[in-house]
Amino acid sequence: QLKAFPKDFLWGSASAAYQVEGAWNEDGKGPSVWDEFVKIPGKTFKGTNGELAVDHYHRYKEDIALMKEQGLKAYRFSIAWTRIFPNGRGEINQAGLDFYINLVDELIANGIEPLVTLYHWDLPQALQDEYMGWESRQVIDDFVNYATVLFETFRGKVKYWISLNEQNIFIQLGYLMAVHPPAVVDPKRMYEANHIANLANASVIKKFHEMDMPGQIGPSFAYTPNYSFDSNPLNVLAAEDTEDIMANFWLDVYAWGEYPIFAMNYLKEQGVAPTIEPGDMALLKEGKPDFLGVNYYQTATHVFNPLNGVGMGKMNTSGKKGSSEETGMPGVSKKVANPFIDRTNWDWEIDPQGLRIALRRMTSRYRMPILITENGLGEYDKITETNEIHDDYRINYLSSHVKAIQEAITDGVTVLGYCTWSYTDLLSWLNGYQKRYGFVYVDQDETQNGSLTRYKKDSYYWYQNVIATNGEE
Ligand code: BGP
């Protein structure tokens, strides 16, 4: 017998500033690292960027009207730091702040709970130029200062805050795989920047609590649970080591203020462990979040990988199934296909049980409430001549994941809410506009040409019913 979803469960959906807003240089906004990065030829799919995106900046009322009609309970969005502080700090740009004041007011007026992400990857370029962004401890004060303005502005109005979105992703893709800014391959710099991001995250959470803010705050972690390919103990150990290096390495810090033992030893052996200064570990413990946010898309299955084995491969950003390269950590593990699991056209494994496993692992290790801040299916969608979008594949994906959440709740996990990725279609950082996630189709083709007209997909109506029945469908 499955337990029912809690009465006040936050049925939500999510987006991020750079991926939806557009208006990249309007009303005093300064450039972010992404505004600059997309100008480098070859960095994104066919040169797509978020300069116009889906023009949510000018169309937010229309988008919120669609949310209201659907019955959406919560909308997660991110604030662009460069709208508030065009150069990262200094004078507040009131016009930029006003946009978010209006957005939050409009959501609340329509009965939708705003869930605000402080940082979804769009670091002010000025701070990158001045002191190398996340590589300098100066970023900690600047981030706290920026967040404090938002806490003061939205005190009492915004009850759920996400500190950093997917620190594990922006750090690894930025400093190891070189596909996000600042696009370098340097593990030592990566772990240093990551440690500083941990300190910034803890500092902002600590500040939130010191200010006695009504509400809750936590980071969003991109959790890909790791499986062993089989019962060969070598492979089982490989999967456990991967879990330590790729997941516990962030989650243990958020929840406990400690780095996991095996992962840290591995980094020391590689000569890439971060520099820990006196006071750092105490600060990490003081910045304890109220919940853990999790972005769940897929699982990964591993075998042992010898020291001379495969390293970091290229990921599939083309949308051609099977085009991703082999990837692994020499001396630890290598990712292999899981014979029980199908994949998307971008080679992301579709594994609803993996979400239940993720929620249970996080709960048994940390015993904290969990907010699912992202989950969804990126696929090609077709619009018919009568403007319908029959995305049954997305409905299947989401509905099997909703079921897995209910199973996890029945198992004893505390889940505050569920945000699908994404509300409208939007820019996929590296995959352009052809990889769609939304309930709402946006007329924007892969060469960024389109009317930006919104159309409801079949999944829009499906979720409307999920919300109306509190998950019973
Ligand atoms: C997460 C990000 C989102 C979003 C999503 C889908 O990592 O937080 O911003 O983009 O993944 O990823 P993609 O666009 O690469 O398919």
Q: pLDDT tens track of the chain, all 473 residues?
A: 999 999 999 999 999 999 999 999 999 999 999 999 999 999 999 999 999 999 999 999 999 999 999 999 999 999 999 999 999 999 999 999 999 999 999 999 999 999 999 999 999 999 999 999 999 999 999 999 999 999 999 999 999 999 999 999 999 999 999 999 999 999 999 999 999 999 999 999 999 999 999 999 999 999 999 999 999 999 999 999 999 999 999 999 999 999 999 999 999 999 999 999 999 999 999 999 999 999 999 999 999 999 888 888 888 998 999 999 999 999 999 999 999 999 999 999 999 999 999 999 999 999 999 999 999 999 999 999 999 999 999 999 999 999 999 999 999 999 999 999 999 999 999 999 999 999 999 999 998 999 999 999 999 999 999 999 999 97
| Distance from the alpha carbon of residue 222 to the mean position of ligand 1, in angstroms | 9
The pTM for the full model equals: 0.98
Of 437, 465, 459, 444, the C-alpha closest to 391 is 459
The answer, yes or no, to whether any atom of ligand 1 lies below 6 A from the CB of 378, is yes
**What DSSP designation does 326 have?**
P
Q: Are 430 and 449 in contact (CB under 8 A)?
A: no
User: Residue 301 pairs with which residues in a beta bridge?
Assistant: 227, 336
- Exposure of 443 by Cβ count < 10 A (0-12 exposed, 13-18 middle, 19+ buried)? middle
Amino acid at 246: M
**Nearest atom within ligand 1 for CA of residue 428:** 14
Q: Is the CB of 169 under 6 A from ligand 1?
A: yes
Among residues 143, 2, 15, which one has the least CA distance to residue 437? 15
CA distances from 327 to 140, 188, 309 (A): 33, 20, 10
Distance 293 CA to ligand 1 centre (A): 15
Contact 94, 135 (CB under 8 A): no
Q: Is 291 in the pocket of ligand 1 (CB under 6 A)?
A: no
Gap between the Cα atoms of 132 and 137, Å rounded: 10
CA of 147 to the centre of ligand 1 (A): 23
User: How many helices and strands, by DSSP H and E, does the chain display?
Assistant: 16, 14
Report the 10 Å Cβ neighbour count for 210.
Answer: 10
> Tell me, what's the pLDDT at 201?
98
Confidence (pLDDT) at 247: 98
Ligand 1 pocket: which of 429, 433, 437 to mutate (most atoms within 8 A of CB):
429
Q: Which ligand 1 atom sits closest to the C-alpha of 348? A: 16
Which residue has its alpha carbon closest to ligand 1 atom 6? 428
- Give the HSE-up count for residue 89: Cα atoms under 13 Å, Cβ half-sphere: 14
- Pairing state between β 415-421 and 370-374: parallel
Asked if 350 contacts 399 with a C-beta cutoff of 8 angstroms, the reply is no
Burial class (CB in 10 A: 0-12, 13-18, 19+), 145: middle
Query: What's the sign of the alpha-carbon dihedral 264, 265, 267, 271?
Result: positive
Q: Which atom of ligand 1 is nearest to the CA of 429?
A: 14
User: How far is the C-alpha of 36 from the C-alpha of 55, rounded, in Å?
Assistant: 19
**Atom 10, ligand 1: which residue's CA is nearest?**
428
Residues 6+ apart with CB under 8 A from 342: 349, 350
Find out whether the beta carbon of 344 lies less than 6 Å from any atom of ligand 1: no
Query: What DSSP designation does 133 have?
Result: G
Q: How many residues does the chain have?
A: 473
Asked whether 195 lines ligand 1 (CB < 6 A), one says no
CA nearest neighbour of 82 among 134, 132, 27? 27
305, two tokens? 């990988």
pLDDT computed for residue 188 by the predictor = 97
| 8 A C-beta contact, residue 115 and residue 419 | yes
Q: Would you say the CB of residue 373 lies under 6 angstroms from ligand 1?
A: no
What per-residue confidence (pLDDT) applies to 313? 87
The ipTM assigned to this model is: 0.98
Which residues are part of the catalytic machinery? Answer: 374
Is 422:391 a contact under the CB 8 Å cutoff? no
Amino acid of residue 113: E
Distance from C-alpha of 29 to C-alpha of 236, rounded to nearest angstrom: 49
Query: What is the enclosing helix (H) or strand (E) of 130?
Result: helix 125-131
The Cα-based distances of 232 to 228, 229, 266, 293, 302 in angstroms read: 8, 8, 22, 33, 11
